[in-house]
Structure 1
């Protein structure tokens, strides 16, 4: 019983430390250029396949993902995405707001997408989106 408790404490401590270090890294102004430079080949590949409106966005801000759910009434979309380099976030599935509800008409559930997400008014918001080619 004591062994299980100790393992639980170790796992919880490791998780807490990981989250704190990721948060600290995300807020480090000097870390973002490093993160962008490490992802430069990936960003260049994404940019070459993106449509013109996405190409014109900062290449480091373009991310790829898959639409899991669309809630037009709430103006939200659930996306399983890769790393969000411009926001310092790892791959995960999460809900985003959209800057313009009309963006939700451009994609459907199950679509592979290219998108740009930004923090706007304290919420993660997709400002550009399109089905991937």
Structure 2
């Protein structure tokens, strides 16, 4: 019986740090903490090869079949993106191969530059 009590105490003591670690950080003073953004957002934007599938000049969006976008942590796919400079869309047509630079604008993945290949 003494062994069972000792074992129960040991288990309780071992579980105590886990219970505290799972607690909320609400109300904690986080001043002075080094809160760096994730690695994906620290990478500089680089041009990505893409093909224009659709242009919606009125909405200021372009649908692109693109390679992986490292600085945004996005895999290759086909997706519609807002364009920072809507007026530039008149210089492109569907089916063209382009080199596109993406970045976040107002928290959204956005085409910040697009050049013909």
Q: TM-score band, normalised by the shorter chain?
A: 0.5 to 0.7
- Structure 1 runs of 4+ aligned residues shifted over 4 Å read none
In the TM superposition, 1:36-115 aligns within 5 A as 61-115=46-100
On the 8 A contact 2:100/2:115 being kept in 1, the answer is yes
Structure 1 CA distance, aligned partners of 2:38 and 2:113?
A: 26
Structure 1 length as normaliser, TM-score? Answer: 0.55
SS of corresponding position for 1:66: strand
Give the superposed CA RMSD.
Answer: 2.0
Structure 2 length as normaliser, TM-score? Answer: 0.62
Structure 1 CA distance, aligned partners of 2:88 and 2:77?
A: 21
Shift of 1:107: 1.3
Structure 1 unaligned segments of length 5 or more: list them.
1-26, 37-57
Question: Would you tell me which structure has more helix in proportion to its own residues?
Answer: 1
Shift of 1:81: 0.1
Shift of 1:103: 1.7
Structure 2 CA distance, aligned partners of 1:110 and 1:93?
A: 13
